[in-house]
């Protein structure tokens, strides 16, 4: 999606008859598509191709030959079995930046396992350090492991394109969920590797900074972070607790961490005395980082989150059909022979073509899809380089 934001033309390849699993991840649905699916498929065109069929694999190779980037998330070795592995694609497209996204990488004892965000979050230790201090492990509210892997992949692809620009040669990029999430453990991993300090759950708090957490107010929550001693003094001043800032037990961050429980009890009692809006007004202009815990309605009505140059609402309708002329002629002609004859009559699938003249670009995974068909996903662009992304069968 980010590459599409920069102008890439992204073509997603899905399996006929069902498509991406996330199309069914609902409710809620927007029309016939799950909102989850739409949320993670911005800027993508989509086609369905049976790659197990030799003609389907041939289509993928033709598409790869005119593309700059090839992204796949199959279990290692699966694409090579049908002639679509890196070595195969490299022969016909030596310029290609071929990126594999897997659960566990290309080597090691777990490479043949499928990967989902929650499982990788568990194996990587993220769940172990997420949740209330004395509570059960908790999954993050969104797929942070997936998102982090996508962002690492995005950067790797951009670096790959830069290298190709300099050398004229493509390369194979290996990104995976486990490595990406382990890399994101940052200081928690460093604490263990350097000091053998086991990670633990801190709720909204921080293991190495105090105060740095959410506090319950009279009607909600406020999050406050004092990253240095001066900010702590300011927090105490706003809370009208000058004696706390002068207490020798809390003079430095190290001392505040050592005396966390007593200090947090004092601060929590004071925060509970006023409403969130009152505290927000008192912290305004103080130089101390702070903010409320917002729900979705509050997020998308916040003037900072939704300032004019950013935008904060869904714009336009989800498009499901477009002209096939945007695809290289050899691709759509090869696909069309599996869908309609010259008069628009369907072959093996129910009247897809008569109902949808541009059937190659219609997406309707029930009776309205031909063998190699597809559809346009929201907000795509036809500028920049071409990228093909393969989505595996379960």
Q: Which residues are catalytic?
A: 146
Task: Beginning with the edge strand found earlier in the chain, give each strand of the sheet holding 97-102 in spatial order.
Answer: 171-176, 97-102, 69-72, 386-390, 9-14, 44-48, 374-376
Angle between helices 54-65 and 329-336 (to 10 degrees): 170
72 - beta bridge partners?
A: 100, 390
Question: 195: exposed, middle or buried (C-beta count within 10 Å: 0-12, 13-18, 19+)?
Answer: exposed
What 319-325 contacts at long range (C-beta under 8 Å, 24+ apart), as own/partner pairs, is 319/376, 319/377, 319/378, 320/362, 320/363, 320/364, 320/375, 320/376, 321/356, 321/358, 321/361, 321/362, 321/375, 321/376, 322/45, 322/358, 322/361, 322/376, 323/358, 323/361, 324/358, 324/360, 324/361
Residues 6+ apart with CB under 8 A from 196: none
Nearest to 50 by CA among 369, 378, 377: 369
**28-40 burial by CB neighbour count: b if 16+ within 10 A, else e?**
eeeeebbebbbeb
Residues 6+ apart with CB under 8 A from 70: 64, 89, 93, 96, 97, 98, 99, 387, 388, 390
């Amino acid at each position: 999606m980010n590459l599409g934001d920069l102008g890439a033309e992204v073509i997603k390849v899905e399996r006929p008859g069902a498509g991406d699993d996330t199309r069914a991840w609902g409710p809620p649905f927007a029309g016939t598509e799950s909102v989850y699916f739409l949320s993670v498929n911005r800027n993508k065109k989509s086609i369905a191709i049976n790659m197990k069929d030799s003609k389907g694999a041939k289509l993928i190779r033709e598409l790869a030959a005119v593309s700059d980037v090839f992204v796949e998330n199959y279990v290692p070795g699966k694409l090579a079995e049908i002639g679509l592995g890196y070595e195969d694609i490299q022969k016909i497209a030596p310029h290609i930046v071929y990126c594999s996204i897997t659960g566990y990488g290309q080597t090691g004892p777990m490479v043949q396992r499928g990967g989902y965000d929650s499982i990788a979050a568990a194996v990587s230790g993220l769940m172990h350090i997420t949740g209330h201090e004395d509570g059960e492990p908790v999954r993050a509210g969104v797929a942070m492991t997936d998102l982090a892997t996508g962002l690492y992949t995005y950067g790797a692809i951009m670096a790959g394109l830069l290298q190709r620009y300099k050398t004229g040669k493509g390369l194979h990029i290996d990104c995976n969920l486990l490595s990406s999430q382990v890399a994101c453990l940052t200081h928690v991993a460093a604490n263990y590797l350097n000091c053998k300090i086991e990670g633990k759950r801190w709720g909204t708090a921080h293991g190495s900074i105090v105060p740095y957490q959410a506090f319950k107010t009279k009607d909600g929550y406020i999050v406050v972070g004092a990253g240095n001693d001066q900010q702590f003094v300011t927090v105490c001043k706003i809370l009208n607790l000058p004696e706390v800032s002068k207490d020798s037990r809390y003079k430095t961050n190290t001392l505040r961490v050592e005396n966390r429980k007593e200090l947090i009890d004092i601060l929590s009692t004071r925060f509970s005395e006023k409403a969130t809006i009152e505290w927000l007004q008192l912290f305004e202009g103080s130089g101390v980082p702070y903010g409320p815990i917002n729900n979705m309605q509050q997020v998308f009505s916040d003037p900072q989150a939704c300032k004019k140059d950013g935008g904060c609402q869904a714009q336009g309708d989800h498009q499901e059909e477009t002209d096939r002329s945007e695809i290289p002629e050899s691709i759509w002609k090869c696909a069309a022979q599996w869908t309609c004859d010259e008069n628009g009559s369907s072959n093996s699938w129910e009247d897809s073509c008569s109902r949808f003249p541009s059937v190659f670009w219609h997406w309707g995974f029930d009776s309205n899809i031909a063998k190699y068909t597809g559809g346009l996903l929201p907000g795509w662009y036809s500028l920049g380089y071409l990228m093909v992304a393969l989505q595996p069968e379960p």
